[in-house]
Chains A and B, each alone.
Chain A
Amino acid sequence: MTRTVDGEHLVGQPIDRIDGPAKTTGGARFSAEHAYPGLTHAALVPATVSRGRITAIDTAAAAAVPGVITVLTHGNAPKLNPPKRPTPANLSTLVSGTQVNYLNTDEVHWDGQPVAVVVAETSHAAREAAALVHVSYERLPAVVDFAAEEPNAVAQKGNPVMPGSAKKGDADAALAVAPVTVDARYTTPQHHHNALEPHATTAVWQGDELTVHDSTQSITWLRKHLALRFGVPEAKVRVLAPFVGGGFGGKGFAWPGTIIAVLAARATGRPVRLLLTREDVHRAVGARTPSAQRVALGADTGGRLTALVHTSVTRTSRVGGQPEQVTAPAQHLYDATNIRTAQSQTTLDWMPNTSMRAPGDAIGSFALESAIDELAGELGIDPVELRMRNEPERNPIDGKRFSHRMLREAYALGARRFGWENRSPEPRSTRDGRWLVGMGVATAYHPAMQFTANVTVRLAADGTVTVRCGFQEMGMGNATVQAQIAADALGVPFEAVRVEYGDSALPASVMAGGSMQTSTVAGSVLAACGKLTRRLSTLARRTGMQGRTPTEILTAARVPFIDAAVGSDTRLGALAGQARMLAKVVRDQRTWAKAACGAHFCEVRVDADTGEVRVSRWTAAFDVGRVINRKTAFSQLRGGIVMGIGMALFEEALVDRRTGRIMNPSLSGYHVPVHADVPPIDIACLDEPDPTMPLGILGVGEVGITGVAAAIANAIHHATGSRIRDLPITPDKLVT
């Protein structure tokens, strides 16, 4: 399968991104950059109460600003169908970020919910006018304080893909009698994706036909959602997203900006562009839930885990949100004799939470991997060695087989590259001038999944190949990778392959999330290429052209091109596809535990006087199955680590506990890592294919961030002797 004309495999090569020239010359057009005649600009007006009713909206001053076309509120906006309740029976219903029918209701459900929109000839006029809209409210009692609500949390409902709790043996009894224990509470704050491109929409109605350029990770579901909300057939809606300026989960669902832009375009009869402000990005888009967690570990004196308890409390909202699988890593990482995990949640008058890079796993691994490090300290065992002593042969919670697991090898490789053997076991034992130096380690783990994607592939007599699939690209390099795969499968040069994506007019694909897009699309591309190869050999036999190039065969057969399709977008075909997909996901989950994993090694330097933390060195060794493109895959893994550095040291939405308002909704208040915060990051991959996944791909989008915050917390403990269990680890926590 992996042959090419010159015998070189393209799969595995560090090929430059196809869209590199467009992105380095300013040629790539993002969703707020499409010109239309008569284009207008919109700006949102956020609610300033957490719960209440709008009693009046004074729009006179706003409407008087030169250039303003209209101010829409629930008093005058066109009617919208309410969103459907999310149900697994219709996956597209999951795409609704909230249950609020924006500008069709006088109810306010969170501080920041858009309650009006200004449409104007220019964006500056729209913004100026939006600030002049005056809204009066009847305030209602609101529950906004996560910490205060924690005792009222209720057990999370589970589903086959995400159990709310899990149990093996009696972990609490085992904990009570264990000779060595750790029992600690960890907290993580609310995190915001803050993709550099704010959410952006350009909406154009022509009669009842709707074209939407939207920064979405979910082209297909967004299209369905818009058709439902605006009462038009799906066939009349086209969603385009060839360039998305980062997502990380924050653009997975339909948030108010998208809906309101389309609404405004319908109301005005003109094209509308809405680029959220950075403040809107914080207040009108879901974030990662805060969490409070308990990890309790019991071990014998030889370091064998006898008890593992991991529980969590997260928050969701009265108008949407989702459970967060915080304790998932505890079900897979350690061969403990007894395990208990339980997740519960609070329901607040807040913006619904949403998925953010490695939902659950990113914050759950912080607590679990910190606790393991604490246990290593109690036992006096090296933290890598402690992990190796508890490395399971089968999935710990249920005994399922691993499709593939090479965590031992990843640790060995990472330790060698990093120089782990040079670490002195004692905390606070290394000093370099004013810097206390420490090394830390933690495990990365993220489950792998494959869904279904519809794909067509055309092989033409001129030797070109066109892959068509409505997948999304927000920096993962998927177009490049799929071109490599198709070129190898068909034996044509890389340059001969064109990949069309980011358009709902193409065959429907899965959303970009769960690290599953590359493997899912690859599975369909390979299947389509297989069909083409079989057609080609039939034609070759018929024309006596066996062993010749595709061009020669097609020319001899007088066939201008051959097409192959995988999956179907017809109504029945799509339903059947979805049923097949769900069945496969559930079956896979029952049969295998499959995941990408890895080992993070880092060195930190902590200023002994100020508590300033600098991350000075990083090595991560991963088992992500087969690596298709070393360049783009390594970039994604590094990107995950960089975001993890932010999570460990800086990132925190500060919430006013009285008003429920975010106090730092900006990039100068919510700090993300900058150049100076990030050391060179050494990445190594084992590059061993997983036998159960297309081409052996396990996914690289999310595993990188898991374990990062723990590795840093562990290194800080090693440097200073201080164990910080509450993220982010800011200097104030280290100097007290």
Chain B
Amino acid sequence: MTTPRTLFQKVWDDHVVVPETADTPAVLFIDLHLTHEVTTPQAYTELRNRGLKLRRPDLTLATMDHSTPTRTEQVFGGVPIAVDSAAKQVKQLEINAQEFGVELFNLQDSRRGIVHIIGPELGLTQPGKTIVCGDSHTSTHGAFGALAFGIGTTEVGHVLATQCLLQRKPKTFAINVVNHLPAGVTAKDLILAIIGKIGVSGGTGYVLEYRGAAIEAMSMDERMTICNMSIEAGARAGMIAPDATTFEYLKATPRAPKGADWEKAVARWSRLPTDAGAVFDRSVEIDAASLVPMVTYGTHPGMVAPVTGSVPASGDAVFEKALKYMGLAAGQVISDVPVQNVFVGSCTNGRLSDLRKAANVLRGHKLASGVKMLVVPGSQSVKRAAEAEGLDQVFKAAGAEWRESGCSMCLGMNGDLVPAGHYSVSTSNRNFEGRQGQGARTLLASPETAAASAIRGRVTDPREFTH
């Protein structure tokens, strides 16, 4: 009998070109290289300087998402991109894609969107693949049972030139989520609770595998929300075993295998889940049934509390500094925190089901006075689907702005910024100092909590709006 293996181990084994030794890391083959404008220009310069070609254009895809505008008149109306350097960066991606023969979804392409939204949408993200991108939230794609992780620009160059990476094998960490999430508690709340439990560096050196009843019951959108934030626990990758839910999602996508190839692929993918008896290097158990909606109150995603709770106390100087930045004090009731800004979007919660959930809370309500709300679909395809359902009308009727797709206020590279000192309930993944703008105070939460907070003008438990 062969040794039982984890999902991670199987995908790793399938991609070893040259095994690792004591002296050298493994050469690992990469099945899909996703790229965007921010982390690639210097890699293409390197290729050019060395006279190298792109080895596998057929396994490479480029989109623009980080520094692109979200105002319709800037995307489609010919109004130039406001920030000069951003305009240049977008232009440079066009030049590089053309020169090296990479398929590019440019600014006006109907398939464009945040890199981690479009990979799955197209069906390029598949179980058992190795997927990389010069972007830490590449972990998102692990929701399909792929081994997907972020890399730096030097490594982007390695993959462009050789379709391979030098890697030491990481360890494995099972996150066992037992029981089911109560009504009104979401995937975002669960991942925030997991990060709160294992800490922002608890996953460093590991690949996480999320397992258990609550995970199995999730839709692909929810699983992507979970895997997306693996990096916020320090893990480069998070994975979920592929199952019928995965296959059903992929079947409808344009670039998934078709016909006889589909049957073969499903048979192959069905062998990927972790074998009974496989050993993880570490494991932790979380009881989903005990959770409530969660929100962060500090300057890293591990500083998280129940929306029904209060800001905890700590004697730690770094903790105090974070609270000072946030303008909060220990003991303060979370639901008393005022809110001036709400952002719904990002690769964490910018998919159609996320927009539906926010709209369901908002329908028939208005934003509280003084609240600005920005809704930014994760891709142009999400945008079209949302408009077909009339979700844009719900947001606009409530007083929110409805934009073209992109990273937008998740990191504010394109000028979509939260003013200094403002509290921003955001469905994105990072609440670092200045992430959404200099001095901006970010509270991470689910789309439901974001929408409920927009209505009340303070942090609000969305279960108050359950109809």
Q: Please say whether chains A and B are actual partners in one complex.
A: no
Which residues of B are interface residues toward A (Cβ below 8 A)? none
